[in-house]
Structure 1
Amino acid sequence: MNQKNDLVKKALALGISSYQNSNFPQAKALFQRVLQLDDSNFYALHFLGIILLQEQNYKIAQLLLAKALGLKPKDAEVNHHLGLAFKGLGDANKASHCFSEAVKLEPSLAVAHLGYADVVSSMGRYEEATKAYKTALKYDKKLIKAHNNLGSVYRKRSELLKAIPCYQAAYDLDPSRLDIFSNILMCMASDPSVSSEEYLIKAQVYGEAARAKAEPYTEWPLLEKIDKPKIRVGLVSGDLRKHSVAYFLKSWIDKLDNSKVELLAYSNYSDEDEVTEELKPCFTKWSKIAHRSDSDIAQTIYDDRVNILIDLSGHTAHNRLPLFAWKAAPIQISWMGFFASTGVAEIDYFIGDQWNFPDSIKPFYVEAPWHLNISGCFFPPDTDVSVGDLPALKNGYITFGCLHKVTKLNDDVVALWSTILKENVSARLLIKDTAFCDAATTRSIKDRFALLGVDPERIDCEIGEARELYFDTYKRIDIGLDPFPFNGGTVNLESLWMGVPYISLQGSDRISRRGAAVLYKAGLDQFVAENEGEYIEIANKVCADIHALSEVRKGLREQVSESRLYNGSLMAKDLESAFSDMWLRYIEKV
């Protein structure tokens, strides 16, 4: 028995030492050996559970940590780690309970406050999350994740002026975290008070930071210089799943001529769903890159002999923009997922069209524009939902609608929409977003309208729902209101498909021209405003003549379905030509 105890003590001590020296494989083996000798050893259970959390093996980690907690139920650290396991398993309720227990046992345990904040934030309880993040920072001001995630909560609540300092504080603590830098740029690009010049300067700083961490390739395997080469095109994205980017891809990706273009996917998201499975057959190779280094992925792309590499994320979540500083392919493109310059000079082109990327905005991009006939084509929803009659015919009043993220409702937007509602006293505004799970967010939005003289009872804030369910909402909306400068993308196209036109203010840069660009292509020029006064005039005209709006609604789905907006075959042909022309232009220079 003494010999066995000695072995346990030695293995445990060596395991803890290995763990503290970050030799996790050795530590893991030693803790497993301890549990073979003593399956109720608290320390081995706890440490092995932590290592499995790092490996994202949440199921086994949860079993080990639950057993450890049974041995020491008053241990705050074990409660915290068990909370992380439940969080990884997607059980928010059990996770929040564990984190709550941890902070009761040890109120100064900052990471447990952080864990609780992350979980309730994922449940849409932003007011609770905000308090918990602030408490975490009270006990640990250097907790990077707390600063960053607090910024994200503010951004979700459309409080950009509060979000940016949080992100900046997180980035200042660790300037290597370019994902946090992306969050800053996302806020700046969405803020009407930030000029295009200011944004570009900041984006170029990002590009320089990415370049400093890269070792760019300077030579690449070339195709033979033939008239019609088969181009190998790589797509880098964290959104090859149930996401608006994937819905745009689905419109054309299976219509490409495989004799001209070969697609390779580099997916930066661990989980997959049915949309992922639909997309996979369209690629000759599918690589998961979420937990791989930029240098490793760049080598893979180079070895795959990719000729054109396309970023579909920009500075949005799950991006791998720093990878593009490695220049693993001779031609690199930014497209679809973002609306402003990436700041990464190694990206050659930004795909757009003459409507949303006019010559006037070229100075605000490090990428050169490449115009297609249309810069994006939408895949109609699988849900079979009829358009329905204009609601105002039955209601006797106009219902304006906004199914965009409330993050887009800046003060200028709220002020303009308030003017419209005050000039049309019977009209209502329906806003729908998952953010309204949080009562404080709902109160905040209504209060902002109330401060401008609009009865909050006229603002209907509804909780967002799954895509296959939310289309019925359009049957209760007469006309949409496009926010600015951050116009809608997917929502606007879904709105037109459901027979609901929208009013859009055409701005001076790409982010504020998307809404108008779609309306022009759909033949709905009458809903494009050049200034705020025109925006109000269009809204007033709609309220004054609901029968004219009813006529638009009746034929709108057929009208847009015949346009390039929903024609994936034409989109595929445009891309084939663009890829070929890009490649021929490139090989002429080498």
Structure 2
Amino acid sequence: MDKLYENVYDSLDRRDYAAARAHIEKLAILDPQEAAYLMVSLYIEQGDVQAASAAWEKLHDLLPTDFYTQFLHARILFMDGRYVSAYRELLKIQLPVDKQQGYGEKISNLLGQCCRILGKNKEAAEAYRKAAATAMETDLQALEYSNYLFNLHYGGGHSADFLRQAARGFSDVLGKRNFFAHPSGRRGKGPWRIGYLSPDVRRHVMLCFCYDLLTAYDHEKFAVYVYMLGPEDEYSQKVKSQVTGWRNLRGLPSQEMAKMIYADEIDILVDLAGHTKGNGLPVMAYKPAPIQVSGIGYFASTGLPVVDYFLGDVYLDDEQTQREFVEKLVILPYSHFCYRPLRSAEVRAPAFRRKGYVTFGSFNNFAKVTDQVLAIWCKILMAVPDSHLLLKAAVFDGGEAEEYTRKRLAHAGLPMERVECRGLSEDYLLEYGDMDIALDSFPYPGGGTSCDALYMGRPLITLAGRSHGERFGFSLLMNLGLGELVAHTETEYIERAVMLAGDSELLQMLQTNLRMMMQRSPLMDRKLYLQSMENFYRNIMEERQ
């Protein structure tokens, strides 16, 4: 029977689902319960909701009260987009004490995903923390702890000391690593070698923030190596054609990735993902380069002492925000990134001129939209007669999540007859033309969506928070010379939105000129940004020599 199990798992690893099913059917004669588990898992792996549901009914007949039967049911519900039902099913599971390790990680991870989608931010963070605590392998612990750190920021309200100590926990999860040796002086010759580590050098919002950094460098003084950790597309190919070296390390063990980077004799290795999905922080933990930097793709400390610097700017950071970081903050003189839209579209005429009323809007990930944000948006709508609110997010793609979220909106007091909800779409830039004023979320502000709104001629109202990650919108508007649209209290946030909605001449002027203002600002000044970054690279290299 051991051979039969081996054949099943080998077939699943190779994604030979027909062979796996044949082996599971043979196993059913010897071990019907285990075969029933495996058959459900097989169909889940294939993404076949109907077949998985039918197989689960057979499993339920065999083991109706089993915790893993319940968990597989929750997985099917989640796969079917029934996030509310999956959440409720997971809460029912009573996991035996002797099954906490391993199974606890699976259950807590799925619960975290459900909570994040449904806007239950504190529950999501706690679920991921439990997932990390019950994971049995270091790599899985690291992944879950990254999820925990990322989800902490949706709710906000954390002290600088808490954020730094929570981040340090990631280093504890990874444990002691054998660092690569870096004697004084350079190992390589010629131009300084800068390596960039990311899973997102492809059609992804992150590429909007780092395209110029990767491609517009001084080729006489720098050599750029990109270490890709994800799938590639036509945008990847475009970057690949403009850099010195390109290595796709996807799927390799982190130590092997680190060896390859070390072999390239990189002088400065820059992590562009932080604790986001598919990140390379376990690679950074081996310190494959003598100087290591993180930033742009994430908004808080990596927690790794082997990361020397974190990118910030004069608007994001001060002495207070330095306390949030294990790394030394690099405070750039303007923006910490350079925005470059991957696609463009014409700025549309003001929506309020076409419709006869002002439309506020948000295209942010709806996990960022807390109940407090909804309460403030409700006050804005009530203060501006006949105004509307346009929301666009994945939770409005239909099904239970949309129904649940619409109830959240109504419970917050929003006049639903004046609220329009749209699901995601691939080409969404033109839809910014259906709003007049973008409302930022807080304490976790928008990133790419805020830049897109401004680029498409829609002014942004933002609330500046205390932490590095809560001040993204503040940095955007200050770099644009639009500090008047920044609020520092919730009352000011409402006042600024109402004021702008009531000044049609100012609103039209901003909508007409914002793109030009943005193109002429530090946010899109490639030469200015590269000068700042390359000066930083020179300074830290010279300090080391």
TM, length-normalised to structure 2: 0.89
Partner of 1:233: 194
Deviation at 1:115, TM superposition (A): 5.0
Deviation at 1:70, TM superposition (A): 6.7
Deviation at 1:248, TM superposition (A): 2.0
Partner of 1:179: 143
The counterpart of 1:257, out of the listed 211, 218, 224, is 218
For the 8 Å contact 1:256–1:572, the answer to whether it is kept is yes
Residues 64-103 of structure 1 mapped to structure 2, 5 A cutoff: 64-68=19-23, 77-78=34-35, 81=38, 84=41, 88=45, 98=55, 102-103=59-60
Instruction: Give distance in 2, aligned partners of 1:438 and 1:527.
Output: 34
For the 8 Å contact 1:235–1:265, the answer to whether it is kept is yes
Instruction: Give distance in 1, aligned partners of 2:24 and 2:324.
Output: 56
Deviation at 1:239, TM superposition (A): 1.8
Deviation at 1:68, TM superposition (A): 4.4
Q: Deviations over 1:33-74 (max 9, x none)?
A: xxxxxxxxxx4xx74242132x3x21x2x1213444677899
Instruction: Give distance in 2, aligned partners of 1:70 and 1:172.
Output: 35
User: Residues 581, 426 of structure 1: CA spacing in aligned structure 2 closer, same or farther, 3 A cutoff?
Assistant: same
User: Residues 255, 90 of structure 1: CA spacing in aligned structure 2 closer, same or farther, 3 A cutoff?
Assistant: farther
**Is 2:498 the partner of 1:540?**
yes
Residues 330-479 of structure 1 mapped to structure 2, 5 A cutoff: 330-372=290-332, 373-383=334-344, 385-466=345-426, 469-479=427-437
Backbone CA RMSD of aligned residues = 2.9
For the 8 Å contact 1:488–1:514, the answer to whether it is kept is yes
Instruction: Give distance in 2, aligned partners of 1:71 and 1:526.
Output: 70
**Is 2:168 the partner of 1:204?**
yes
Please tell me the residue identity of whatever aligns with 2:153.
Answer: A
Partner of 1:565: 523
Bigger-Rg structure (1/2):
1
**Structure 1 unmatched runs, 5+:** 1-12, 17-26, 28-42
Instruction: Give distance in 1, aligned partners of 2:485 and 2:471.
Output: 13
For the 8 Å contact 2:28–2:34, the answer to whether it is kept is no
Q: Deviations over 1:196-218 (max 9, x none)?
A: 221212112222333x2312234
Deviation at 1:306, TM superposition (A): 1.3
Deviation at 1:82, TM superposition (A): 5.3
Please tell me the residue identity of whatever aligns with 2:172.
Answer: E
The counterpart of 1:121, out of the listed 78, 87, 111, is 78
The counterpart of 1:52, out of the listed 1, 4, 11, is 11
The counterpart of 2:473, out of the listed 515, 529, 536, is 515
Aligned residues: 535
SS in 2 for 1:401: strand
Partner of 2:177: 214
Instruction: Give distance in 2, aligned partners of 1:255 and 1:556.
Output: 24
Identity %: 26
Deviation at 1:101, TM superposition (A): 5.6
Instruction: Give distance in 2, aligned partners of 1:278 and 1:268.
Output: 16
For the 8 Å contact 2:480–2:517, the answer to whether it is kept is yes
Deviation at 1:193, TM superposition (A): 3.0
Instruction: Give distance in 1, aligned partners of 2:416 and 2:441.
Output: 19
For the 8 Å contact 1:217–1:328, the answer to whether it is kept is yes
Q: Deviations over 1:510-537 (max 9, x none)?
A: 1111101111112222211122111111
Residues 246-285 of structure 1 mapped to structure 2, 5 A cutoff: 246-269=207-230, 271-285=231-245
User: Residues 239, 79 of structure 1: CA spacing in aligned structure 2 closer, same or farther, 3 A cutoff?
Assistant: farther
Instruction: Give distance in 2, aligned partners of 1:478 and 1:491.
Output: 14
User: Residues 341, 128 of structure 1: CA spacing in aligned structure 2 closer, same or farther, 3 A cutoff?
Assistant: same
Instruction: Give distance in 1, aligned partners of 2:398 and 2:359.
Output: 23
Partner of 2:125: 164
For the 8 Å contact 1:99–1:113, the answer to whether it is kept is no
Q: Deviations over 1:483-540 (max 9, x none)?
A: 1111111111111111111101112221111101111112222211122111111111
Q: Deviations over 1:227-248 (max 9, x none)?
A: xx51212222222222211222
Instruction: Give distance in 2, aligned partners of 1:417 and 1:399.
Output: 12
For the 8 Å contact 1:423–1:540, the answer to whether it is kept is yes
User: Residues 281, 98 of structure 1: CA spacing in aligned structure 2 closer, same or farther, 3 A cutoff?
Assistant: farther
Partner of 1:188: 152
For the 8 Å contact 2:214–2:224, the answer to whether it is kept is no
User: Residues 97, 395 of structure 1: CA spacing in aligned structure 2 closer, same or farther, 3 A cutoff?
Assistant: farther
The counterpart of 2:281, out of the listed 321, 329, 334, is 321
For the 8 Å contact 1:208–1:344, the answer to whether it is kept is no
For the 8 Å contact 2:21–2:42, the answer to whether it is kept is no
Deviation at 1:406, TM superposition (A): 0.9
TM, length-normalised to structure 1: 0.83
Please tell me the residue identity of whatever aligns with 2:158.
Answer: V
For the 8 Å contact 1:406–1:435, the answer to whether it is kept is yes
Instruction: Give distance in 2, aligned partners of 1:92 and 1:277.
Output: 35
Deviation at 1:381, TM superposition (A): 3.5
Deviation at 1:110, TM superposition (A): 5.1
Instruction: Give distance in 2, aligned partners of 1:91 and 1:280.
Output: 36
SS in 2 for 1:364: coil
Deviation at 1:158, TM superposition (A): 1.6
Instruction: Give distance in 2, aligned partners of 1:136 and 1:292.
Output: 35
**Segment drifting more, 301-310 vs 65-74:** 65-74
Q: Deviations over 1:512-570 (max 9, x none)?
A: 11101111112222211122111111111122222321121012112212222223344
Partner of 1:480: 438
User: Residues 415, 458 of structure 1: CA spacing in aligned structure 2 closer, same or farther, 3 A cutoff?
Assistant: same
For the 8 Å contact 2:90–2:111, the answer to whether it is kept is yes
Deviation at 1:96, TM superposition (A): 5.8
User: Residues 555, 402 of structure 1: CA spacing in aligned structure 2 closer, same or farther, 3 A cutoff?
Assistant: same
SS in 2 for 1:326: coil
SS in 2 for 1:543: helix
**Structure 2 unmatched runs, 5+:** none
